Amino acid sequence: MKFTIQINTGPYTHQASDTAYQFTRAALEAGHEIYRIFFYHDGVNNGTSYSVPPQDDRNLQQLWSDLAEQHSLDMIVCVAAAQRRGIMDEGESAKHGKGSPNIAPGFQISGLGQLIEGGVQSDRLLVFGD
């Protein structure tokens, strides 16, 4: 089965990000395909390289980046939601005259069209969070 995953909540405000990560990992281990992971609303906070959780806490951003690298995942951060929350890649940072980019490895910034395409191309679109 082919899945697109939408994540709407940040990594430390709700269980949805953890649940989405665990589901994605389990689906991949079971042989399913993840077409795309789309981070929307506060979910874009999963993609900032500036989060520094305490040493005894999980680093969800790093877990997502590692999973993306291991499985060549397409992880998209919504451009409008990211801009509102100060998350930018190199292009967006230069475009808006900001300092260095702060998007984490494995994440890309793009628009809602990527979510729509993922829903069309997949067997299931799963939404985690409000």
Catalytic residue IDs = 78
Backbone φ and ψ of 124, nearest 5°: -140, 140
CA separation for the pair 23, 52 (Å, rounded)? 24
- Helix, strand and coil in the chain, % to nearest 5: 40, 20, 35
